[in-house]
């Protein structure tokens, strides 16, 4: 039996027993779609330090740099598609085994895999559009890019003149209250919490698996590399997410 099938077989009984699973995803679920993660060897983190929220707000040069980086990644974000891992998660939601997906990802791939938006809780936001930091209005990226290319500056908000930023949560930026409350509620209600592709070092996000375990849910971690929470998990698979999860879901 290939290794991933052996690992999938270990996962199956956990999924079969679950009635209210929560799936918690990080950058690792999207690497098989071609989006690099932060903390794998050679990941984005090792090449480019992120821009803190305070620097973005304080410095026009940092804002230009943030937008330059975002537009440099646009071809990638516009062309990536959900992979076998995203599709297997969507199948768990479709079958009623998983109630929610809490994601740290900003790539919109869970929604594109067919999961209804109200089942996806984006605790770090979404990079496929922008929001005004003052009035919260949504803005689309193509006109921002056109303005940036013409003037070398991002435009201000059409409605209130505030600063536009991708709708993501940067280091130093407040977590989105409504999404955090929904994520907490889903975590408290779950009987199985499955971590897929997260190094579990970014807090408060990494507090959710611990909280699920504390309230009595079973905890499964599927991640290529070890995490600090492996020791409290009921099952740890250091395996690739797409082949492992899709084999497990096909075996249900
Ligand atoms: P991380 O980069 O810290 O950790 C990713 C983990 O996934 C690593 O431990 C790695 O071993 C594992 N992994 C990578 N590919 C895998 C695969 N195919 N199968 C199994 N495991 C795999 O990611 P994080 O914990 O999500 O934290 C990074 C932060 O950066 C997040 O907050 C997220 O918002 C953001 N981010 C998002 C994206 C995205 O939207 N796709 C990409 C990069 C970073």
**Quick one: 189 and 224 in the same domain?**
yes
Same domain, 74 and 139: yes
Predicted local confidence at residue 43, as pLDDT: 64
Instruction: From the CA of 27, give the closest atom in ligand 1.
Output: 26
What's the rounded Cα separation, in Å, for the pair 110 and 45? 23
Query: Do 188 and 216 contact (CB within 8 A), yes or no?
Result: no
Residue ID of nearest Cα to ligand 1 atom 16: 28
Question: 156 C-alpha vs ligand 1 centroid, how far in Å?
Answer: 31
Q: Do both 29 and 140 map to the same domain?
A: no
Q: Residue 163 has what DSSP assignment? A: B
Nearby residues of 175 by Cβ (< 8 Å), 6 or more positions away: 123, 169, 204
The CATH number of the domain holding residue 134 is 3.30.1600.10
Q: Could you report the per-residue pLDDT of 65-80, keeping only the tens digit for each?
A: 999 999 999 999 999 9
| SS3 label, residue 142 | helix
For residue 217, give the CATH number of its domain. 3.40.50.1220
Domain that holds residue 206: 1-35+81-124+175-252
From 30, 32, 37, 47, the mutation candidate for ligand 1 (largest count of ligand atoms within 8 A of CB) is 37
Instruction: Work out how many domains the chain is built from and give that number.
Output: 2
Give the torsion through C-alpha atoms of 42, 202, 88, 10, to 10 deg: 90
Q: What is the pLDDT of residues 170-196, one digit of tens each?
A: 999 999 999 999 999 999 999 999 999
- What pLDDT, on a 0 to 100 scale, did the predictor assign at position 48? 75
Model confidence over 131-144: pLDDT tens digits? Answer: 999 999 999 999 99
- For residue 239, whether the previous peptide bond is cis, meaning omega lies within 30 degrees of 0, is no
- The answer on 236 and 215 residing in a single domain is yes
What residues does ligand 1 touch, defined as CB less than 6 Å away?
26-28, 30-32, 35, 37-40, 43-44, 104-107, 124, 197-199, 202, 223-225, 240-241
CA–CA separation, 42 and 136 (whole Å)? 35
1, 54, 68: which is closest to 244 by C-alpha? 1
Residue 1 has pLDDT above 60, yes or no: no
For residue 231, give every residue at least 6 positions away whose Cβ sits within 8 Å of its Cβ, in sequence order, or none: none
Domain-ending residue, one of 152, 168, 184: 168
Q: Confidence class of residue 46 from pLDDT cuts 50, 70 and 90?
A: low
Dist. CA 228 → ligand 1 center (Å): 15
pLDDT band at 145 (very low <50, low <70, confident <90, very high): very high
pLDDT at 2: 65
Among 108, 143, 168, residue at a domain's last position: 168
At residue 4, the pLDDT reads 78
245, 222 Cβ separation under 8 angstroms = yes
pLDDT at 222: 98
Of the three residues 168, 193, 220, the one that is the final residue of a domain is 168
Are 107 and 14 within one domain? yes
Q: Tell whether 189 and 227 lie within a shared domain.
A: yes
Sign for the CA dihedral angle at 98, 218, 205, 185 comes to positive
Q: Specify whether 223 is located in the same domain as 136.
A: no
124 flagged as catalytic: yes
Same domain, 53 and 108: no
């Amino acid at each position: 039996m290939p290794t991933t099938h052996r690992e999938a077989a270990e996962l199956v009984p956990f999924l079969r027993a679950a009635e209210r699973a929560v799936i918690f995803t990080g950058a690792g679920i999207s690497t098989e779609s071609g989006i690099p993660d932060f903390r794998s060897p050679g990941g984005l983190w090792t090449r480019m330090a992120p821009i803190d929220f305070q620097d973005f707000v304080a410095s026009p040069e940092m804002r230009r740099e943030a937008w330059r980086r975002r537009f440099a990644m646009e071809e990638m974000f516009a062309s990536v598609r959900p992979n076998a891992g995203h599709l297997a998660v969507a199948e768990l939601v479709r079958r009623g085994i998983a109630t929610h997906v809490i994601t740290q990802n900003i790539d919109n791939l869970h929604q594109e895999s067919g999961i209804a938006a109200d089942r996806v809780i984006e605790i770090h936001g979404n990079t496929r559009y922008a929001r005004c930091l003052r009035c919260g209005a949504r803005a689309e990226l193509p006109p921002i890019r056109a303005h940036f290319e013409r003037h070398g500056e991002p435009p201000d908000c059409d409605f209130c003149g505030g600063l536009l930023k991708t709708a993501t949560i940067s280091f130093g930026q407040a977590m989105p209250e409504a999404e955090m409350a929904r994520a907490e509620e889903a975590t408290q209600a779950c009987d199985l919490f499955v971590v897929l592709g997260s190094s579990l070092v970014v807090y408060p996000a990494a507090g959710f698996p611990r909280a699920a375990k504390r309230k009595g849910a079973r905890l499964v971690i599927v991640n290529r590399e070890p995490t600090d929470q492996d020791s409290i998990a009921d099952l740890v698979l250091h395996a690739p997410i797409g082949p492992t999860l899709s084999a497990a879901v096909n075996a249900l």
